[in-house]
Structure 1
Amino acid sequence: MKLTIGGGLKLAFRPWVEGLENVPAEGPAILASNHLSFSDSFFLPAVLDRKVTFIAKAEYFTTPGVKGKLTAAFFKGVGQLPVDRSGARGAGEAAVRSGIDVLERGELFGIYPEGTRSPDGRLYRGKPGGLARVALATGAPVIPVAMIDTEKVQPPGKVVPKMIRPGIRIGKPLDFSRYMGMDGDRFILRSVTDEVMYEIMKLSGQEYVDIYATVAKRLIAEAAKRSAQDEADGA
């Protein structure tokens, strides 16, 4: 199914890509990407010869009915791995364990250090609990990736994509093996995460915001709510 979906995406959207030579032909590696659109997890695997495994909400695989079965088949086909996210701590541990398992099999593991999609196209602070812990537990190289214009292909809340040509820039692998086994040191985790986010920023050209995307989403929602209330009060 990966070949069918990937071939269809490349034919329809013709994504351009730079730095394919930075992805190893074999062996474990972590692809750490910015996150602009739901479609990021489809475009990146589409341009690679190797399978990339991302984690996805378990609900995508367990929804009942015909639509649920089709959704589950689609996500499995493009290399998505179900993770139960009930409970923040449990979700984080499950994601880390899943990433380690993928890398121990010598495969590629894809992760979004921001933890969620950018609400406004800017690059937000990376969360150290996932990417850095997986990297330091396995010693696998981290390859920074920048998705370009995918938010224009499928803006948040839109089901039908626009026929816009997105891009992908793949940076040189980062070696953090010198910190291997130090995944319990929060200062090391933060340092590793920040270094990766800096490389993603250089590749993407995005404005960097030193807060978490989840916080930004909450602030945006609160501002929209206040604006709506002010309009209602003034009516």
Structure 2
Amino acid sequence: MADVSRTGTLRVCYDQWAPMTIFPSEGSPGRGVVIDMVDKIYTSAGYEPEYYEVPLARGLDMVADGLCDMLPEYLFSKSSEKYFEYAAEETFSYTTAFVVRQNDPWRYEGIESIKGKRIATGPGWDYSSMSVDYQEYINDPKNSSFVEVIAGYDDVVDRIFHMINDKRVDLYADNELVLQHVLNRLNLNGDLKIVRPGLEKKLVERPIFSKKIAEEKRQELIRIWDEGRLLMKGKDEEMLLRKYNVTFQE
């Protein structure tokens, strides 16, 4: 049982990446699979989460500056460890896939296969942990006419899907659960499709914690996450995924 005498506020910054992390609205109060996990894990340990819905870049700055204690999902990279401390337990290890138009026979077969295709991405999004070649292709100035960077607050992926449907771009890579969720919510299954394989490696995401937090408290928060996430594997995890109408494909 949680020792409620040590209840405190946990300041959580997060960005929109439905169905994993969602900005709630009046008609749709759910905060997503990963935020539901955070809520269950930390409230059972006596903490009261306080949520800040911000774009990813702003959330990272707020965690680095100590304005937030944690951000629940961020791709793991050695270079980020000087600003944040990662939990040991992943939120998830995601299989990636692409979305294209229904009548497009294209499949990803390495970097040569995307040449001449119009690719959508977001500002500062980093695919290097999944495919160094893909990230280098996007970064290369000579490919800029084939790379469309879509900026925005909470609807970037939605707009990308509509742009593919309108033939303004050709393809987009993301976590397969995100692609499933957006296709279902926008009712575009008749117009767009998910194609596999995705990028070469899985997308590994972990919570990050502010190094501005006192060491003892930071280690406690990390321990609570690591132990709580292990306990949620299996039935509890599957129940949360079903709540948001997504599932990992075999």
What is the TM-score of this pair, normalised by structure 1?
0.31
| Between structures 1 and 2, the one with greater strand share | 2
| Between structures 1 and 2, the one with greater helix share | 1
What is the TM-score of this pair, normalised by structure 2?
0.29
